[in-house]
Amino acid sequence: MSRKYRTGDQRHAHFVTLTVLHWIDFFIRDEYRQVIIKSIQYCQQYKGLEVYGYCIMSSHVHFIIRAGENELLENTLRDIKRHTAKCFHDLLVSKHNNYE
């Protein structure tokens, strides 16, 4: 795993930023923002993710988060990114038949 995805002490909160490739203004549509919000809520409920705050900007998302008790933050972030990427892909395909 790349060093940039490794976190230090799991007991502390971390400031994390996730960006869209080439800083494209992707989160201007509410349906895309809702995917992020639902993913965060899922991780809070099932992975024990502690969210102290988040801010969804047009091309990136900021979080202040801490991993659940038996979870590693990098694994939770990996799962969020994997799930949201699949959801975004499915939304784009359903809206634009020639996307793929």
Q: Is residue 78 part of a domain?
A: yes
- Which range marks the domain in which residue 85 is found? 11-95
Q: How many separate domains does the chain show?
A: 1
Residue 2 lies in a domain: no
CATH number for the domain harbouring residue 17: 3.30.70.1290
- Among 6, 11, 8, 21, residue whose Cα is nearest residue 84: 21
CA–centroid distance for 17 within its chain: 9
Task: Say what the pLDDT of residue 3 is.
Answer: 54
Res. 21: pLDDT tops 70: yes
In a domain, 100, yes or no: no
**pTM for the structure as a whole:** 0.81
Any domain includes 40: yes
Query: Would residue 60 count as lying in a domain?
Result: yes
| 4 pLDDT above the threshold of 90 | no
pLDDT digits (tens, 9 = 90+) for 39-56: 999 999 999 999 999 999
* pLDDT exceeds 90 at position 8: no
